[in-house]
Every structure is written in C-alpha cells, then in structure tokens.
Amino acid sequence: MDSALLLSARSATPMYAQIVQQIGAKIIAGEWAAGSALPSIRELASASNVSVITVKRAYLELEHAGLIVTRQGKGSFVADTLDRSRQLAIDEFNAQLANLLSAAKALGLSAQDIVRRVEDALSDQADDATALSTTSSRDSSP
C-alpha cells in the first residue's frame, strides 16, 4: 500500500481535507483494498509533516463517510463495505459521462474531438499532479 500523499501548505484546501480527498480517492479507485490497514495516525502525521490532530481529524471524516473503520487498539482499516461505495461512484461516473456525451453531441463534436479533449484534460491533470509533487517536495525541505 502506497501511503504517500501530496499535501500543499499553499493550497486553499485545509490539510485535513487534502488528506481526506487523497485517501478517499485511493480507496474508491481500489488502490487500497477493503480490510487493508491504514498507516497509524502518528506514522501518517510524521510522513506528511502535519500534526497528529490534523490526521486524526481526517481519519474521523473518512470514518464518518464510511470509507474506513477504526478498531480501538488495532488501528484504522479500509471499510469492508466498499464494494457498494465503489459501485455507487462508478454509477455516478457513468451518469456524468452520459451527460458529457449528450453535451458534446449537442455541440456537434466528433468522437475524435471528444477523445482528444479527454486526453488533453488527463494530460493537464497529470501535469498538475507533477507540479504539486515538486512544490510539496520543496515545501518540506529544510
């Protein structure tokens, strides 16, 4: 399980929310399987250069969302009921995709145009993640 998170102190999004978003995305994407142990609060705080309170708040949010469960004295784990959550997320994605394709059709965009635009958006997103990673590495350097 890759527990590396890309957090930015310069982001308008609070640190705990960045942790929630990134861990949630890893769980929904299936990168972290149901039942898998999450890093301890102290481990993640140390690795991410944030306070224990920040990670604790993020874990609490994830628990309230039903993505993780915490077992006293044992740690936090990816919830076992994620298959349903993942399916709901996939259903939502498919609905959004259908809306996107309807809008593209209304605009008269060709299939090649749509594919090119999606590829451009994916490339831009990858570039943003790389830039954030570089910025985060510089931010945590002494």
- 59 pLDDT above the threshold of 90: yes
pTM of the model: 0.59
Per-residue pLDDT tens over the stretch 30-52: 888 889 999 999 999 999 999 99
Sheet strands (E) in the chain: 68-71, 75-78
- Tokens encoding 113: 């145009």
Helices (H), 1-110: 15-28, 41-48, 52-64, 82-107
At residue 61, the pLDDT reads 93
User: Cα–Cα distance between 101 and 83 in angstroms, integer?
Assistant: 27
CATH hierarchy code of domain 15-139:
1.10.10.10
- 22 pLDDT above the threshold of 80: yes
Q: Determine the length of the chain.
A: 142
What single-letter amino acid sits at 87? Q
- 139 pLDDT above the threshold of 70: no
What SS3 state is found at 37?
Answer: strand
What single-letter amino acid sits at 108? G
- Tokens encoding 97: 């995709």
User: Cα–Cα distance between 76 and 2 in angstroms, integer?
Assistant: 15
